[in-house]
Amino acid sequence: MSIRINYNLLQFLSIVVQLCAYSIVSIAQTLKPSVIASAGGNSLNSGYSLSYTFGETNTATLSNAGYTLTQGFQQTYKMTLNLKAFLQGYYKNGSMMENVLYTEGITASPGAACDTIQIELRENTSPYSVVSASKQIIQTNGSVTFNGIANAGNAYFIVVKHRNSIETWSTYPVLLTENTYYDFTTAATAAYGNNQIEVEPGIFALYSGDINQDQNADLLDAAILETSIANFDFGYFATDINGDGNVDLLDSPMLEVNVNGFIYSVHP
């Protein structure tokens, strides 16, 4: 009798072991198809961008000035945006601006660097949120390269900001490809609302004079300039509108003209 019971017990234990083994195998078989090596691709032409991936969800995105790496679905695309723009106050002649970083004492020797500007990419629909922004040094010939992050094939407004200039937007959302070029200098119409000034025949620049960065050139800016002149300021000051390194009466006429012209930032 004792032997029979033990035999039944052994049969029961054998069934349990088989069920456990089956369960383990079943779980392994269930998990295996859900883990797929990441793969995909990107297709781009002048009218559209198509990207696709297979595999794990987005777990991390790393980027610096040279690359963008995303682990998982849909990584953002590294764009190169080349711009050309002039700043009214710093413009000299012959499509050249002042070497302001030198004249205002930031760099020790002359060069091709004009000043630092901020470039933003903004959504093309309200509320026109900032997609990407970066500060870059604009050269004396007006050229500047912005290595930002955006989706290939999307169109964004390009916004240029400067410490004593009127915030200026591109006329329309610009379709970004891997390498995009936009020139503000060729016509007033290159800026939203034609909001630029002709500094030489056929050459246009962003308005200067918004010292307090409230998107207007007005009496508030004039008061700041007057105080700076009275203080005999020199060096890296937003009140040095002509970029010669000194804040003096030579900076006043341009601001006065723009104040009297009711110049302000025009954008959607």
Q: 17-26, 167-176, 206-215, 235-244 — which is least confidently predicted?
A: 17-26
- Say if residue 226's pLDDT is above 80: yes
Neighbours of 210 (CB within 10 A): 27
Residue range 95-113: average pLDDT? 97
Give the pLDDT of residue 69.
55
Torsion of the alpha carbons at 210, 215, 216 and 221, rounded to the nearest 10: -40
Give the pLDDT of residue 152.
75
Q: Read off the pLDDT of residues 39-89 as tens digits, 9 standing for 90 and up.
A: 555 554 443 444 555 555 555 555 554 445 555 555 555 568 899 999 999
Q: Tell me the whole-structure pTM to 2 decimals.
A: 0.73
Residue 195 CA to residue 185 CA, distance in Å, equals 12
- Say if residue 5's pLDDT is above 90: no
Task: Report whether the peptide linkage leading into residue 127 is cis, meaning its omega lies within 30 degrees of zero.
Answer: yes
Paired tokens of 195: 């909001």
User: What's the first-to-final CA gap in the chain, in angstroms?
Assistant: 94
Residue 88 CA to residue 103 CA, distance in Å, equals 16
pLDDT-derived band of residue 218, with 50, 70 and 90 as boundaries?
very high
Give the pLDDT of residue 142.
98
In total, the chain counts a number of residues equal to 268
Residue range 2-29: average pLDDT? 48
Give the pLDDT of residue 2.
45
Query: What are the boundaries of each domain within the chain?
Result: 2-33, 39-75, 79-260
pLDDT-derived band of residue 234, with 50, 70 and 90 as boundaries?
very high
Q: What is the mean pLDDT of the chain?
A: 82
Give the pLDDT of residue 98.
98
Give the pLDDT of residue 108.
96
Give the pLDDT of residue 11.
59
- Say if residue 22's pLDDT is above 50: no
Give the pLDDT of residue 19.
47
Q: Read off the pLDDT of residues 133-144 as tens digits, 9 standing for 90 and up.
A: 999 999 999 999
Taken in order 96, 212, 239, 264, the sign of the CA dihedral is positive
| DSSP secondary structure of 126-162 | TT--EEEEEEEEEETTSEEEE--EE-TT-EEEEEEE-
**Domain range 79-260, its CATH number among 1.20.1050.10, 2.60.40.4130, 2.60.120.260, 3.40.50.720:** 2.60.40.4130
Give the pLDDT of residue 178.
81
